Amino acid sequence: MLKLLTTSLFCLLIFKSALSQQAIVLKGSVKDLDNLPLPGATITAEGTNYSTTADRDGQYQLKVKPGNYTLHFSFIGFNSTVKNISTSSSNLSELNVRMQPSLSSLQQVEVMGRKEQSYKTTRSFIGKAETDIKDIPQSVSYASKEFIADRGLMRVGDIVRNLSGVTQASFYDDLTIRGFRVNGQTNTQLINGLRTSTGFWKQPLANYLERVEVLKGPSSALFGNASPGGVVNRVTKKPLDETRRSVNFSLGSFNTFRGLADFTGPASKDSSLLYRLNLGYENAGSFRDLMFDKNIVIAPSLTFLPTDKTSINFDLVYNDSKSRLDRGQTLFGSSELNSTPQSLSLNTANDYMNELTYNVTISINHKITDILSLNAAYIKTGYEEDLYEHRTSGTYGVDKNGVIMENMAGMMIISRKRKRYIDNMSGYLNYKPKTGTIKHNIVVGYDFGSEKLPVGSSQMTAGGYLNKTRDSVITRYVAKDSLKYARDKNGAPIPNVPHFNLSDPLGSQKMIDDSKSVFTKGDVAPTYYYLNAGYVQNQFTIGKLQALLGIRYEYYTDFANYKLTNEKKTHSEAWLPRLGLVYSITPNINLYGSYVEGYNPQTAATIANPEAGGPFDPLKSNMKELGAKTSWFRDLLTLTVAAYEIRQTGALYNITGSNELRQIGDEKSKGIEIDVIGRILPNWSVMGSYSYNEAIIVESSNPGEIGLQKPNAPKNTANFWSKYNFTSGLLKGFGIGAGFNYVDKRNLNYDSSLSPENQLTIPQFTLFNAAAYYNVGKLQLQLNASNIGNKKHWVGGYDYFRIFPGTPESYLFSIGYSF
């Protein structure tokens, strides 16, 4: 009996103890001062893993164990609210909160990090001063770090192809926007609104980016010479005034391993010094033969806030990349896409490409008065390239009679070392006075930019056919002069670099003894240019109407024959207007219209392609655009619609089978775009786009290409992605995502030897993607699946020697931890 009583008492104590640890539910609502709900507001218990979000009606439920807690309520545009509570298992607590809108003045530049944690970004600094995106009279598409992370993306090319009107043109940092080519080789790329360039050949990791923005249309009035299609702005992660730390490790298809880290917070007790450090490491193979990527990214950032009126930023992005240069898939002479496997590359095992890139930025923002501020920034870009490659020469081998052998690709070797340095300084005053009922936002500024390819860059090239004595090279084989060439036992000319046998790729991809090849010095001449520019812009508001008037004067100086005895300065100049109107029909619907002009010199310095040829006339362009920007679900979701027409003269296209460029006359691009981004529910995020683009060649020296759709410019593209998080029930902590990418068929570079109907094209494709997520406390597990169903496709191309296949079905598993 005593034993039974003791056992019963012990069970009772266990039951009571378990009951005391039973989780209770804290309920309530989060609303503003007008008693309107704040859907998506976050509620977290300090020092714990307990967190939740408010639903569409502002209601929330938070499960906690009995105890004392400090709860933090936060919502975009509102001051954070802190509540100290005490709970017990004997009652059901309820806590209703009213949040006050933030009255703090807006930043003038992007100083501190973005705290929003959604696909939607409200404001942008791409127009120099901070502006609500709906008030910019041009289309702006973007992808936030949250979308990038959910999709498991790590290359800017993969990121921006989810935006309307943007597609890849190759494996490189090489895009098509609204039918016009935009690439990292021309220094019209932006980092934090400052002009720079990338290495072009390889795209670095994107783990240090807060978001990627695309300002559509000519942007020369803001940033100087740029593509008429648009400009890509990479916004780096900035320090936060709260501590956040995370690490992430990924394993995936093609032997991919990736490790990332992101640390931020105050570096001083008074939070006057903030820091952020992003680290990235990648070791990945490829579905392409012999290809690999080894990348290290180090990206520290510091923000110093000596007073409440002054801020100073320092940013560094350092990328060390080791890989091979992938020139794409080469086809048999029939130009049939399936004539060779998509995995085929013409490299050998002794090829390599080592690149080192750094971007160092220093910026300062000083608030002189409540309506006047000074902003200044400087960026230094350095690039080093050490390249050794076997690649197609853009020809096929021939037999002794000069007959083309379609399975034998002509080859060449390039050994190159070069450096590039780019400087950009931007300073401007931002003045916001009122004259009566008119509000002004005036920007007056000065830009200086330069790029230098210094002395010391050099290139060695081997190609063509050996002469009879094998001590020099003849570029092409002419059968009637066969006695001038070294010949094999069958009488065929001996190539300087062995042909690549497309019928036996394994034999041609082995290491080759290049000591037997005859090398000649290539031309990587030093180049230098600089520009000075001044601009003034005023966006003034009268009631519901905003009008933007801007003008930029640019004076461009290029050194012809730089560092030679016949060195000569050449100059060009341009006046570039920018006009825009925005009318607010309702607080959540803005209509806009704009007219902008573009200008871009095309000299050896700006093209940065040692085999481009030239000289070329400058690009000139203009754009007219009309559109609407709207917001829904209490500004959680935005929808943008745009219609445009762009005209350009002076475009450059690759010559078939060559790195040389040719210039054509007028081009015209017109179309419509639709972008939707944000949340339908607090736990349901979406991002989608559609674009129709008719981009045609109006004038050219090749009559056959007039009226054709421009190279790598699809008429239709569509993208969609949706993510849903389960916040209650058995599936709480789980999330799912799904979407697709559609790209219409595309023409490649026009080949004058073929009729218009026989031009090489790449077919349309639709890729399906999905993801699954599981969050438990501070740990997240994520699985991304891309190209489900293994759709065979090509992302771009130049000609039948350089086609760029798309990645087959692939998977990436990631594990992340925040602390």
Host H or E run for residue 530: strand 527-542
DSSP 68-91: EEEEEEE-TTB--EEEEEEE-TTS
pLDDT at 657: 58
Q: What is the pLDDT of residues 129-158, one digit of tens each?
A: 678 889 999 999 999 999 999 999 999 999
> What is the C-alpha to C-alpha distance for residues 743 and 748, in angstroms, rounded to an integer?
14
Contact indicator for 28, 54 with CB cutoff of 8 Å: no
DSSP 477-529: --GGGGGGB-B-TTSPBPBSSPPEETT-HHHHSS---GGGSPPEE-----EEE
Q: Domain span at residue 253?
A: 236-460+521-818
> What is the C-alpha to C-alpha distance for residues 377 and 369, in angstroms, rounded to an integer?
20
Q: What is the mean pLDDT of residues 85-100?
A: 74
Q: What strand order describes the sheet that includes 24-32?
A: 59-64, 24-32, 97-99
pLDDT at 16: 43
611: left (phi > 0), else alpha (psi -120 to 50), else beta?
Answer: alpha
- What would the two tokens of residue 244 be? 């956040």
Q: What is the mean pLDDT of residues 420-430?
A: 94
pLDDT at 659: 63
User: Which sign, positive or negative, has the C-alpha torsion 468, 470, 475, 476?
Assistant: positive
Q: What strand order describes the sheet that includes 194-196?
A: 140-144, 209-216, 230-236, 189-191, 194-196
Q: What is the pLDDT of residues 527-577, one digit of tens each?
A: 899 999 999 999 999 999 999 999 999 898 988 888 989 888 888 888 989
Mean model confidence pLDDT for the chain: 87
> What is the C-alpha to C-alpha distance for residues 487 and 475, in angstroms, rounded to an integer?
15
Predicted TM-score of the model (pTM): 0.85
Q: Is the per-residue pLDDT at 431 higher than 50?
A: yes
Q: Is the per-residue pLDDT at 783 higher than 80?
A: yes
Asked if residue 574 belongs to a domain, the reply is: yes
**335-342 contact pairs (CB < 8 A, 24+):** 335/760, 335/800, 337/762, 337/763, 337/794, 337/803, 339/502, 340/502, 342/287, 342/288, 342/792, 342/805, 342/808
* Contacts for 803 with CB less than 8 Å, ≥ 6 apart: 328, 329, 330, 331, 337, 748, 762, 794, 797
Q: What is the mean pLDDT of residues 92-97?
A: 78
Q: What is the pLDDT of residues 686-707, one digit of tens each?
A: 999 999 999 998 887 777 778 8
757 burial via Cβ count (<10 Å: 0-12, 13-18, 19+) = exposed
Host H or E run for residue 274: strand 273-284
Kindly report the CATH number assigned to the domain that includes residue 40. Answer: 2.60.40.1120
Nearest partner of 383 among 202, 515, 231, judged by Cα: 202
pLDDT at 184: 67
- What would the two tokens of residue 438 be? 């008119």
Of 99, 116, 132, the last residue of a domain is: 99
> What is the C-alpha to C-alpha distance for residues 330 and 411, in angstroms, rounded to an integer?
11
Host H or E run for residue 681: strand 666-681
Q: What is the mean pLDDT of residues 476-504?
A: 93
Lowest model confidence (mean pLDDT) among 191-195, 339-343, 427-431, 650-654: 650-654
Q: Is the per-residue pLDDT at 111 higher than 60?
A: no
| pLDDT interval class at 628 (50, 70, 90) | very high
Under DSSP, the state recorded for 176 is E
Contact indicator for 693, 715 with CB cutoff of 8 Å: yes
At residue 13, φ and ψ (nearest 5 deg) are -65, -40
Half-sphere exposure of 91 (CA within 13 A, CB side): 8
Nearest partner of 818 among 760, 763, 779, judged by Cα: 779
Of residues 582 and 99, the one with the higher pLDDT is 582
Asked if residue 126 belongs to a domain, the reply is: no
Lowest model confidence (mean pLDDT) among 76-80, 96-100, 315-319, 351-355: 76-80
Of residues 634 and 580, the one with the higher pLDDT is 580
Hey, which residues does 729 pair with through a beta bridge? none
CB burial string 685-703: b at 16+ within 10 A, e below:
bbbbbbbbbebbbeebeee
Identify whether residues 94 and 240 lie together within a single domain: no
End-to-end CA distance of the chain: 53
Asked if residue 58 belongs to a domain, the reply is: yes
Q: What is the mean pLDDT of residues 709-725?
A: 96
* Contacts for 499 with CB less than 8 Å, ≥ 6 apart: 397, 405, 408, 409, 410, 411, 508
Radius of gyration of the chain (CA): 30
Question: Furthest-apart CA pair in the chain: how many Å?
Answer: 118
Of 40, 66, 99, the last residue of a domain is: 99
Q: What percent of the chain has pLDDT over 90?
A: 59
pLDDT at 608: 52
Asked if residue 182 belongs to a domain, the reply is: no
Provide the residue type at 276 as one letter. Answer: R
Lowest model confidence (mean pLDDT) among 60-69, 96-105, 712-721, 724-733: 96-105
Host H or E run for residue 197: none
Identify whether residues 437 and 583 lie together within a single domain: yes
Host H or E run for residue 7: helix 2-20
Q: What is the pLDDT of residues 440-456, one digit of tens each?
A: 999 999 999 999 999 98
Q: Is the per-residue pLDDT at 341 higher than 80?
A: yes
The CA-atom distances, in angstroms, between 257 and each of 22, 146, 175, 411 are 41, 21, 26, 33
Lowest model confidence (mean pLDDT) among 292-306, 491-505, 643-657: 643-657
User: Which sign, positive or negative, has the C-alpha torsion 213, 217, 221, 224?
Assistant: positive
Say whether 697 sits in a helix, a strand or coil. strand
Nearest partner of 631 among 582, 691, 684, 584, judged by Cα: 584
Host H or E run for residue 678: strand 666-681
pLDDT at 78: 74
pLDDT at 107: 43
pLDDT at 17: 45
Of 64, 79, 99, the last residue of a domain is: 99
H-assigned helices in 167-283: 220-223
Q: What's the total number of domains in the chain?
A: 2
Q: What is the mean pLDDT of residues 24-42?
A: 83
Asked if residue 466 belongs to a domain, the reply is: no
Kindly report the CATH number assigned to the domain that includes residue 719. Answer: 2.40.170.20
Q: Is the per-residue pLDDT at 606 higher than 60?
A: no
| pLDDT interval class at 18 (50, 70, 90) | very low
Asked if residue 482 belongs to a domain, the reply is: no
- What would the two tokens of residue 783 be? 């699985």
Q: Is the per-residue pLDDT at 590 higher than 80?
A: yes
Asked if residue 516 belongs to a domain, the reply is: no
